Structures are given as structure tokens and as C-alpha cells.
Chains A and B, each alone.
Chain A
Amino acid sequence: AQKVTQAQTEISVVEKEDVTLDCVYETRDTTYYLFWYKQPPSGELVFLIRRNSFDEQNEISGRYSWNFQKSTSSFNFTITASQVVDSAVYFCALELTGGGNKLTFGTGTQLKVEL
């Protein structure tokens, strides 16, 4: 069975600080996808990134960056120069290839960015 662990339940930072959200996953499969989603107070999950298990290249998108390390089964997410609008719950998720959109989610990290 698959498992995704987000050990950080809640993180509070001051605006403009950098923050890293940790994600560790477990799977015996060799091919899979990893995801990050953001859930603002309105409730809908917003897709941030999908990463294929064969692609360990780190990715940067604006203030967001992702560090995928297969050797440690981690897929960490860093927000640079955080802003109040970044406040939300962030979920890491895993899907096996051929999984038909069946994602296994972590428990989420509540990020609070204060002025």
C-alpha cells in the first residue's frame, strides 16, 4: 500500500520568509506520480505540480520550487519570499501509474503567513 507523510502539521512564518514543506512517500512501485495541491479556505484543491517518478529534475515556478529525491523518497516544496496569500493547507499526494486518478494524500500542512 502507498503512504504519504507530511510530518509538519502547522507552520507559521512572517511574510517574506522562505518556507519548506516536507513530504515523504512510500510505495513499492517503480513508476508513480507525485503531486502538490493547495487548499485555501474556500475548500477546493488547487493543483500546483505533478512529477513523474522518472524525472528527478528540480522545478522552479516563480516563488515555488520543488525538490524531488528518489533516494530519500521525498518531494519537498519551498515557497520563497512567502506572502499572506500563500496561507492555506498544502497537500502532497501520490498516484501509481495507471491509477486512474486515485491519489493517496498526506495529512496536509497548514501554512500561516503573517505580516
Chain B
Amino acid sequence: KAGVTQTPRYLIKTRGQQVTLSCSPISGHRSVSWYQQTPGQGLQFLFEYFSETQRNKGNFPGRFSGRQFSNSRSEMNVSTLELGDSALYLCASSLGLAEWNTGELFFGEGSRLTVL
């Protein structure tokens, strides 16, 4: 079956702009998580959505937001971009059958954002 699809794969923005990244989970998966990966901070959890509700959030400023649609597709938005936002943004999906189920995560290949 098709894996997790993230778009766009690469993008370049300038400081102050905003960006929207998209993630299509594996069919049937209802949980979508977002992670930021940078050389300095490593992999950090941004937030997780399940059935259109954000049920967990990491320690990121309010400039980072997300949402999930009824078809489980998710978007994340970063406003007022800063140089430090340059990173690989990874989306992961899982079944998430129980409210707090810990499931195997399936990751996409990521969206690489460069902020100039």
C-alpha cells in the first residue's frame, strides 16, 4: 500500500514568510505526528493529531501550527519564518486506534525547508 506522502519535498523561503506543508497518511491511519529534524537539535516532536484533534504538542512557539482534515490528511504551518526554522520536517502516521495507543510510526521522506 502507498506510504506516507509529504509535499513539497523541497522548498526555499525567506525570513518573515510563512509556509504550509502537507502530509497524506497511509490509508486507514488516523494519527498523524510531525517532527522537526535539524543538525543542532536533532529530532523533535512538534504535535500529533488524531481524528482532527490535536492531542499532544511539543515545545515549539505558536508560530508552528497544524491541523488535520476529516480524511486524516494533515497540514502544518509555520508563520514568520526564521533562519532557525530551516530543517527537515517529517510526518508520521499510525493507526492510533485507542486514544493513547502507542503504535508503530510510518514516516514520510520529509519536506526540506530552507529559510534564507
With both beta carbons as reference points, the residue of chain A lying nearest to B96 in the complex is identified as A101
* Across-interface contacts of B103 in A (CB, < 8 A): 101
Contacts A42-B109, A43-B109, A45-B90; A101 near B58 (Cβ below 8 A): no
Interface check A44, CB cutoff 8 A: yes
In the complex, the answer to whether B56 meets A100 with C-beta atoms within 8 Å is yes
Expressed in whole angstroms, the Cα–Cα distance for A108 and B108 within the complex equals 18
Contact with A along B90-116 (1 / 0, CB 8 A): 101010100010111111111010000
Asked if A62 is an interface residue, CB under 8 A from chain B, the answer is: no
Residues of B bordering A, CB below 8 Å: 3-4, 31, 33, 35, 42-45, 48, 50, 55-56, 58, 88, 90, 92, 94, 96, 100, 102-110, 112
Residues of A within 8 A of B (CB): 33, 37, 42-47, 50, 91, 93, 95, 97-108
Our count of residue pairs bridging A and B at CB distance below 8 angstroms stands at 67
* Cα of A26 to Cα of B104 in the assembled complex, Å: 21
In the bound complex, residues from chain B placing their C-beta under 8 Å from that of A105 are 42-44
Please give me the residue from chain A that is nearest to B55 by CB atom. A100
Nearest-Cβ distance from residue A26 to partner chain B, whole angstroms: 16
Contact B43 A101 (CB under 8 A): no
Cβ contact within 8 Å between A46 and B107: yes
**B72 to A: closest C-beta gap in Å:** 14
User: B-side binding surface: helix, strand, loop or mixed?
Assistant: strand
For the A-B complex with A42-B109, A101-B31, A105-B43 known, give 18 more contacts whose Cβ atoms are closer than 8 Å.
A44-B107, A44-B108, A47-B104, A47-B105, A50-B102, A91-B43, A93-B43, A95-B102, A97-B102, A100-B56, A100-B100, A101-B33, A101-B56, A101-B94, A101-B102, A101-B103, A102-B48, A103-B105
Known A-B contacts A100-B50, A102-B45; the reply to A47 vs B55 at CB < 8 A is no
A60 CA to B31 CA in the complex, in Å? 29
Inter-chain contact A45/B102, CB cutoff 8 Å: no
Contact A44–B96 (Cβ < 8 Å): no
Report which of B90, B100, B106, B112 forms a contact with A47, defined as CB distance below 8 A: B106
A104 to B110, alpha carbons, bound, how many Å? 18
Cα separation A108 to B43 with both chains bound (whole Å): 9
